[in-house]
Amino acid sequence: MHDAKILFFAMYIFLLFPKVRMSGIHETRYNFMVEWYDDMASVTRRFYLLYFISNDTIELIEAKNGRTFLKRIKCDGVTLKSIYIGSTLNIFSRQMKVIDYGDGFTRETFSKITEKTYAMLKPESVPYLGKILEEIYSRGFKVTNAKMCLMSEENAKEFYKEHEGRTFFPTLVQHMSSAPVVGLELMGGNAIKAWRQEIGPTDVQQAKDEAPTSLRAMYGINKTLNGFHGSDSPESAERELEIFFPSKSSSRQSVPKSTATFENSTCCVILPHSIEEGNLGKIISEIQGASFDITAMRMFYLDKTDVQEFYEVYEGVVAEHNGMVGQLISGPCVALEVKHPSCKNQEEIVNKFRLLVGPSDPEIARELRPISLRAKYGVTKVKNAIHCTDLPEDGSLEVEYFFKILE
């Protein structure tokens, strides 16, 4: 019993201090609190996730008793870039959500470089969605949530309530509820201040004169149709993110609705590895550049049950089925509803979009269709950049799965 107490105290000291002595050398590691729902026991378990930067290895310590749950080991897909508050990690087939920092050193180190803000593409910017996402990534931000939606007048009034009573308020509300917008949760160093700097002055002409590389200078039209919104404080960011991405415990009754139409459309899912590699904007740019319309978009963090259900048709048929499931739960994916103005029915749009995406094996795609998306962004048959609907009769069903069932 005495030895057990000593062991527990030693583990507590190990967790408390961010630098541990290994073979006479101080080694830096970061500490995060994660939780995992254990299906077998029907309980949520919490762990300290230790990340060692010298060789990108991890270790899991049970928070309740200090016991080692997973000895120090490298885990594919778990990198320092993938660990942040709210992220979901696939640790040897267990989906663990990062819920807090595990010590003061980690909190102090990460709180500023992983600050989150709310960003919005107003209706006039949405047609340039892909190019703007490319700019967002190139300017050092990471998209950690995304949703194309249509704001009601009630949503718009709530969002811009600080402007209520001003002469431009009715026009602003009418404009913001007239067409789809794209809400984004962005993460980066001092993200709130940095994003407002990147979008530039409210007045587009002023932006063009004083900040010609700002996003408003590039995509804005005038002072009202200036293309973008950015939170001005941590409090505003928290409030605005809750409007568009309410927490599970939220009691909100009115949330901006999805823009999915479920008619003459097909489903596209941009896989986690594509997003991790920074290709989200590039892929969407190519889709829009090929004259396809993106009529709905949402970022999802899927669990294994959801993915197994979605990929059920491939089980026992496609040899890569288990790998496909593992890839889709390994991080955030982005689902799209896609249309084309020339396609008059489900069969036409499914087949036309499949041509753009290319064969499921990227190696074959590079041989047969080198301009296809999988040829350009795919890596393997599992990491092939994109899932697209295979059969015309499944087009609406797959769109409904993401934008009705999962939402």
Instruction: Give per-residue burial for 316-352: e unless 16+ CB within 10 Å, then b.
Output: eeeebbeebbbbbbbbbbbbbbbbbeebeebeebbeb
Closest CA to 131 of 272, 333, 288: 288
Q: CB pairs under 8 A, 24+ apart, for 99-103? A: 99/33, 99/34, 99/35, 99/46, 100/32, 100/33, 101/31, 101/32, 101/33, 102/15, 102/30, 102/31, 102/32, 102/33, 102/48, 102/49, 102/50, 103/15, 103/16, 103/17, 103/18, 103/31
Structure tokens at 179: 């067409």
Q: Strand 88-91 to strand 68-73: parallel, antiparallel, or no bridges (unpaired)?
A: unpaired
Structure tokens at 177: 């509820």
> For residue range 338-353, what is the model confidence (pLDDT) as tens digits?
999 999 999 999 999 9
Assign a CATH topology to domain 2-109.
PH-domain like (2.30.29)
Type of residue at 13: I
Q: How far apart are CA 75 and CA 404, in angstroms?
A: 33
CB-CB neighbours of 22 under 10 Å: 11
In the chain, % of residues over pLDDT 90: 76
Give me the residue spans of the domains in the chain: 2-109, 114-258, 266-406
Helix (H, G, I), strand (E, B) or coil at 305: helix
Listed in sequence order, the residues at least 6 apart from 227 whose beta carbon sits closer than 8 Å to its beta carbon are 121, 122, 124, 125, 199, 204, 215, 216, 219, 220, 221
Q: How far apart are CA 187 and CA 144, in angstroms?
A: 7
Q: Does the structure show a pLDDT above 70 at 225? A: yes
Specify burial of residue 104 (Cβ count, 10 A radius: 0-12, 13-18, 19+): exposed
Helix (H, G, I), strand (E, B) or coil at 72: strand
**Residue 229 is a catalytic residue:** yes
Q: What pTM was estimated for this model as a whole?
A: 0.86
The pLDDT assigned to 387 comes to: 97
Instruction: Give per-residue burial for 139-159: e unless 16+ CB within 10 Å, then b.
Output: eebbbbbbbbbbbbeebbbbb
> Phi/psi at 165 (nearest 5 deg)?
100, -15
The CATH H-level (homologous superfamily) assignment of domain 266-406 is Nucleoside diphosphate kinase-like domain (3.30.70.141)
The CATH H-level (homologous superfamily) assignment of domain 114-258 is Nucleoside diphosphate kinase-like domain (3.30.70.141)
Torsion of CA 378, 140, 187, 300, to 10 degrees: -20
Q: How far apart are CA 136 and CA 146, in angstroms?
A: 13
> For residue range 106-159, what is the model confidence (pLDDT) as tens digits?
998 888 788 999 999 999 999 999 999 999 999 999 999 999 999 999 999 999
Alpha helices in 203-303, H assignment, sequence order: 204-210, 215-219, 234-244, 272-276, 280-289
Does residue 279 contact residue 316 with C-beta atoms inside 8 Å?
no
Closest CA to 86 of 101, 105, 69, 104: 101
User: Is it true that 114-258 and 266-406 share their CATH fold?
Assistant: yes
Closest CA to 300 of 331, 267, 275, 345: 331
pLDDT band of residue 299 (cuts 50, 70, 90) is very high
Catalytic: which of 2, 163, 229, 321? 229
Tell me what percent of the chain is helix, strand and coil, each rounded to the nearest 5. 40, 25, 35
Residue with the larger pLDDT of the pair 295 and 393: 295
Structure tokens at 221: 């039209």
Q: Which residues pair with 90 in a beta bridge?
A: 95
pLDDT band of residue 90 (cuts 50, 70, 90) is confident
pLDDT band of residue 66 (cuts 50, 70, 90) is very high
